[in-house]
Chains A and B, each alone.
Chain A
């Protein structure tokens, strides 16, 4: 699996992904991983419509995604990995997903109370997951669209 872009974003596929990142990263396939979304036909259908035409969209449960990772699926196709929260991302990394930098969009669960940046809030469990991802050596950058400046989440996490 050739991952060209990894993003944590509560809205999965939306305008920033479609207009901002898809072409820029050369993405041909989007793997969006979320148990709840994958089990909901309405959400699956809408997310597929939201992607850019010509880009294949795979909306998978965590189990299905782990299987794809272990099979090393999709050969050389440039893949964009999308998850809703750092906990899911950490699980994928532990399942053997090879990624570069981690890009972060809006992440704010209703019950998240720890403020990391203007756009990123975390629950206790999410904070631990972020810290673990940073400890594993990944660069974590909050950046909505390519033309925006980057906020390093690694630096922010040092304070917690």
Chain B
């Protein structure tokens, strides 16, 4: 199938929109490969290829998420380009991966560019803030977000239009041995994702859970869903043994609601606007513009005089960064403080508002990043991937729904509970329950990764020894000792490489070279 200019435009729009949504729609994780690749497949009339590439690519990038303003691989660029070329040039799954992964890593330059460009919009917004011009600020929010979307859409468009002939020519001209090499490298690639995730998720005490998950999958062949089920039960058992979760929020229960000076209508408005927190994300001030935009109509309402309004905008345009889903508590507490300040400037000074923001944003980012980007997204990604790899079209839908139901629930509850109880909720939340919850999630997550390694990583050796007429297949011998031992070794190799300080790109290069050579020599295949 040929990629026409029209088709390239549509696909570029899809990739760009995914990035735009990350900025303006509350980080719904639609830019993940498990959604982007099947969507590309659907548009090009080959959903099955999309599902296979999406499932595998999701595993490769399992551990790669944006934390704290760092720039992750650009997954939509890789997933859309990889899938589109796979369908247009009839590439194999592995060949598509070998294109998609480096492209995604290169694609992080797009975000770098957008974040740099956005500093201009934030600076302009500051000028508008001085005049109390809320329209101007809104305009900068939208321009910044469009810039972020275009930074992904334009490279996708150019690559699709200019690249397809080269890809088709290259794929037909490649000699057999290089093709086998690419295939083997492609099969090893998911080990990159498993190894990265292992290095972030596994503290030494929890590592055995990874091996338990692996063993259930490798020896008993239970599959990822079976292993995940056992993992969740193991986590529940562990949490119960350690004392359960009942005391998690006991501190805040049974107390009279704090009277919130912020009306329900204003609360709802802040909830919806808080989806735009990552708007015009810039290097120097990150979520400052998005946070300002979230509170802007409320500030305009309470500070009737334009001078105070302008001052409040300016103070919120200073550096801000927290987890995009769990900004609610900060919004709520700042709104309360601002409305008190509007009534009596003597009671609440500027510094104390800044201090609250500064003191809450770091810890909330830590809690949110490790629960959401570090645990929920990879676990759901793993489950959805294993469905996608079986060709089940429900996979991307399930991923989207579970993630975003959790998204709405967390965003709404953290906001509304903070309007009710103020900071008291966080002062009285029971830490040991909280860490038990995270420990349980870590156990389930590690077992899930073990299950994925033992199920979906397909590294084998075709080596056959002949000793006195009897031929021994090395793989059969290995299987007799430990099935899937090569996938396990590959994952552990990546894990130790990263622990020793190798960067993801370096590990990727090593996999491509080692896999390519061993494949071409027919040692792996």
Q: Which residues of A contact B (CB under 8 A)?
A: 10-20, 22-24, 26, 37, 40-43, 45-55, 105-106, 108, 110, 118-119, 144-149
Contact A147-B70, Cβ < 8 Å, known A24-B498, A50-B365, A119-B284: yes
Q: Does B90 contact A (CB under 8 A)?
A: no
Q: Does B359 contact A (CB under 8 A)?
A: yes
Q: Is the CB of A49 within 8 A of B199?
A: no
Contact of A52 among B203, B363, B373, B426 (CB under 8 A): B203
Q: Is the CB of B442 within 8 A of A18?
A: no
Shortest Cβ gap from A144 to chain B (Å): 5
Residue of A nearest to B119 (CB): A118
Contact of A42 among B200, B318, B426 (CB under 8 A): B426
Contacts of B439 in A (CB 8 A): 53-54
Q: Is the CB of B70 within 8 A of A144?
A: yes
Q: Does B67 contact A (CB under 8 A)?
A: yes
A21–B364 Cα gap in the complex (Å)? 17
Q: Does B254 contact A (CB under 8 A)?
A: no
Q: Does B68 contact A (CB under 8 A)?
A: yes
A146–B195 Cα gap in the complex (Å)? 14
Q: Does B438 contact A (CB under 8 A)?
A: yes
Q: Is the CB of A147 within 8 A of B431?
A: no
Q: Does B225 contact A (CB under 8 A)?
A: no
Contacts of A53 in B (CB 8 A): 203, 435-436, 438-439, 442
Q: Does B69 contact A (CB under 8 A)?
A: yes
Contact of B374 among A19, A43, A47, A49 (CB under 8 A): A19
Residue of A nearest to B64 (CB): A147
Shortest Cβ gap from B22 to chain A (Å): 16
Q: Is the CB of A118 within 8 A of B284?
A: yes
Q: Is the CB of A16 within 8 A of B363?
A: no
How many A-B pairs have beta carbons closer than 8 Å: the answer is 143
CB within 8 Å of A: which of B396-449?
423, 426-427, 429, 431, 434-436, 438-439, 442
Q: Is the CB of A54 within 8 A of B205?
A: yes
Q: Does B54 contact A (CB under 8 A)?
A: no
Q: Is the CB of B365 within 8 A of A45?
A: no
12 interchain pairs, CB-CB under 8 A? A10-B362, A13-B363, A18-B370, A19-B200, A46-B367, A47-B366, A49-B363, A49-B435, A50-B367, A53-B436, A119-B284, A147-B503
A142–B47 Cα gap in the complex (Å)? 44
Contacts of A149 in B (CB 8 A): 503
Q: Is the CB of A16 within 8 A of B434?
A: no
Interface size on B, residues (CB 8 A): 51
Q: Is the CB of A15 within 8 A of B373?
A: yes
Contact of A145 among B70, B363, B434 (CB under 8 A): B70
Q: Is the CB of B431 within 8 A of A49?
A: yes
Contacts of A108 in B (CB 8 A): 284, 319
Interface string of B60-75 (1 = CB under 8 A from A): 0000000111110000
**A interface, over-half SS:** loop
Contacts of B58 in A (CB 8 A): none
Q: Is the CB of A15 within 8 A of B370?
A: yes
Contacts of B423 in A (CB 8 A): 42
Q: Does B283 contact A (CB under 8 A)?
A: yes
Q: Does B311 contact A (CB under 8 A)?
A: no
Contact A54-B203, Cβ < 8 Å, known A49-B367, A144-B69: yes
Q: Is the CB of A13 within 8 A of B366?
A: yes
Q: Does B323 contact A (CB under 8 A)?
A: yes
Contact A10-B358, Cβ < 8 Å, known A22-B203, A108-B319, A118-B284: yes
Q: Is the CB of A45 within 8 A of B366?
A: no
Q: Is the CB of A147 within 8 A of B366?
A: no
Q: Does B348 contact A (CB under 8 A)?
A: no
- What are the 3 closest A-B residue pairs judged by CB atoms, nearest first? A50-B366, A15-B369, A11-B362
Contact of B203 among A13, A55, A146 (CB under 8 A): A55
Q: Is the CB of A145 within 8 A of B68?
A: yes
Q: Is the CB of B429 within 8 A of A110?
A: no
Contacts of A18 in B (CB 8 A): 366, 369-370, 374
A68–B70 Cα gap in the complex (Å)? 33
Q: Is the CB of A37 within 8 A of B203?
A: no
Q: Is the CB of A146 within 8 A of B501?
A: yes
Contact A14-B369, Cβ < 8 Å, known A46-B364, A47-B363, A144-B70: yes
Shortest Cβ gap from A84 to chain B (Å): 9
Shortest Cβ gap from B370 to chain A (Å): 5
CB within 8 Å of A: which of B348-385?
354, 358-370, 373-374
A47–B498 Cα gap in the complex (Å)? 27
Contacts of B202 in A (CB 8 A): 23
Told that A14-B366, A43-B359, A54-B435 touch, could you supply 15 new A-B pairs with CB distance under 8 A? A11-B361, A13-B366, A15-B373, A18-B370, A19-B67, A20-B67, A20-B68, A26-B204, A40-B359, A46-B426, A47-B363, A49-B434, A53-B435, A110-B354, A145-B68
Shortest Cβ gap from B363 to chain A (Å): 4
A110–B284 Cα gap in the complex (Å)? 12
Q: Does B301 contact A (CB under 8 A)?
A: no
Contacts of B362 in A (CB 8 A): 10-14, 47, 50
Shortest Cβ gap from B176 to chain A (Å): 35
A54–B423 Cα gap in the complex (Å)? 25
A17–B201 Cα gap in the complex (Å)? 12
Residue of A nearest to B322 (CB): A14
Q: Is the CB of A16 within 8 A of B70?
A: yes
Contacts of B359 in A (CB 8 A): 37, 40, 42-43, 46
Q: Does B131 contact A (CB under 8 A)?
A: no
Q: Does B171 contact A (CB under 8 A)?
A: no
Q: Does B164 contact A (CB under 8 A)?
A: no
A3–B413 Cα gap in the complex (Å)? 39
